[in-house]
Structure 1
């Protein structure tokens, strides 16, 4: 509140964003990923021009919109320390990816095969944090759901969240390879993804979860998870989008993992399926 008791500029922005997300939950969590899958698969099959199906600016815009539930959900608990932490995560994302592209470590030698918008030093997508930070935050939320009260213990929560980041990548990378977003010089046995990539993700996740742990108050995140009805919606669109991409590519294991993530959500006590009559949360 300002000194006169009215809303501050930040509170007005947060309130407006909350209304937009709340009123468009099905569109963001379900319609966007479904349309995205159809468009990208049609482009991959040659039915839609790449300039439309794989337009980098449309893709970044779509990913940003699909991340709005997460952004709006955590916005009220982003204080100065959390803001610095998010900036640190963005910088770390660019830095480790740049090292990875230029040296082959820690993910193995890989290249971006499609344009993903402006590039940092010509090698790393500028929008990369928009892709990575939601994976990190979603893994944290998923860890809370999986662990329950045990999530209050850092010694249990930390390695669990790191492991879940890697689990989400077990879904993401095979799908991205199937869509020719990127690929490895020496493809691995896991749907074209080498083992070294996942070892690299363990390293990256350990650092990133460490930053997240320092930056955010755990109790505040739990409180938002309990009270914000759409905070898990970004996980819904992740599971739908990458699950269907992997189904279309006949990537059985990633598709099953994506299905498992959605089942964990459905069983969660704080979950409703984008406002639809599924899940455990009592609908308003």
Structure 2
């Protein structure tokens, strides 16, 4: 009996070690793929995205190529991959639960916004960004929204330095960063016809939209702050050189569109995010040079 229990325990331990080894192997392979394709993911994809979206908005692309939802979803998923792969080792059951609550909240607040015009103001999606939930909001909405919050939060932690340990500094600054993300996103999205507001204001976006983002951003940041062990998260950020590449893609894509449509203030805020990224000492011209595949081959 004792020998049987011992053998059973040994098998369980072996299975656990085998599963852990498999996870580590998959994680290592994913990181290797991201590392080898950083320039393509962080620069080439947003450049192609900006060109095709502007071409769709201006009528230069027609038929299935214009605003193709599969292209949009695939491009978004690829640009999000550095962040998702980077955070994966720190997403345990607790973090998964908090992010699950945030996912439900993301759908709920967007559905309320579409149906009641609160809290963002009256707006509607003018194209289908992939399959639509109840025909009203994109099913892929969490893929669009939650990484923006995570990017803003991670950049806040890095920029604040020792100040990040103070809750009443960390959270308000992170919320402000989330709203700043929308200052870049919404004017460009309106310009290329992703969605439209009944009343204009800031490059076609009413001020009520930004008050709405303060509300949704506050809930999102509090859940993200609750989800992760900050010390362990920062250790992972330090170890993972590409974890903020999704924010680079965001700045290049939406900053470029704002520039093309003359949304100068929104483009300037995108420039501030560039300064924030450079201030972390994770990005410089040497890194850009070595990230280009043709340079690595020499």
The residue that corresponds to 1:170 in the other structure is 183
Structure 1 residues 4 and 89: CA distance shift in structure 2, 3 A: closer
The residue that corresponds to 2:38 in the other structure is 25
The residue that corresponds to 2:225 in the other structure is 213
Q: What RMSD over aligned residues (CA atoms) do the two structures have, in Å?
A: 2.0
Q: Distance in 1 between matches of 2:16 and 2:102?
A: 33
Within 5 A, what are the aligned runs for 1:34-183?
34-183=47-196
TM-score by length of 1: 0.93
Q: Which runs of 5+ in 2 are unaligned?
A: 1-13, 291-295
Pair 1:270-2:272 in alignment: no
Structure 1 residues 61 and 242: CA distance shift in structure 2, 3 A: same
User: Where do 4+ consecutive residues of structure 1 move more than 6 Å?
Assistant: none
The residue that corresponds to 2:7 in the other structure is none
Which of 149, 174, 193 is the equivalent residue of 2:205? 193
- Secondary structure at 1:85's aligned position in 2? helix
Equivalent residues of 2:174, 2:221 under 8 A apart = yes
Q: Distance in 2 between matches of 1:60 and 1:273?
A: 30
Q: Distance in 2 between matches of 1:75 and 1:194?
A: 36
Q: Which runs of 5+ in 1 are unaligned?
A: 279-283
Higher helix share: 2
Which of 234, 252, 255 is the equivalent residue of 1:222? 234
Equivalent residues of 2:159, 2:279 under 8 A apart = no
- How far residue 107 of structure 1 moved from its aligned partner, in angstroms, is 0.4
- How far residue 152 of structure 1 moved from its aligned partner, in angstroms, is 1.7
- How far residue 224 of structure 1 moved from its aligned partner, in angstroms, is 1.5
- Secondary structure at 1:183's aligned position in 2? strand
Count matched residues. Answer: 279
- How far residue 4 of structure 1 moved from its aligned partner, in angstroms, is 4.8
Question: What CA deviation, in whole Å up to 9, does each residue of 1:31-85 have, x standing for no partner?
Answer: 0000111111122222222521311121011101100000011001111001111
Answer with 1 or 2: which has the greater Rg.
2
- How far residue 274 of structure 1 moved from its aligned partner, in angstroms, is 9.8
- How far residue 10 of structure 1 moved from its aligned partner, in angstroms, is 2.5
TM-score by length of 2: 0.89
Q: Distance in 2 between matches of 1:39 and 1:273?
A: 27
Structure 1 residues 104 and 5: CA distance shift in structure 2, 3 A: closer
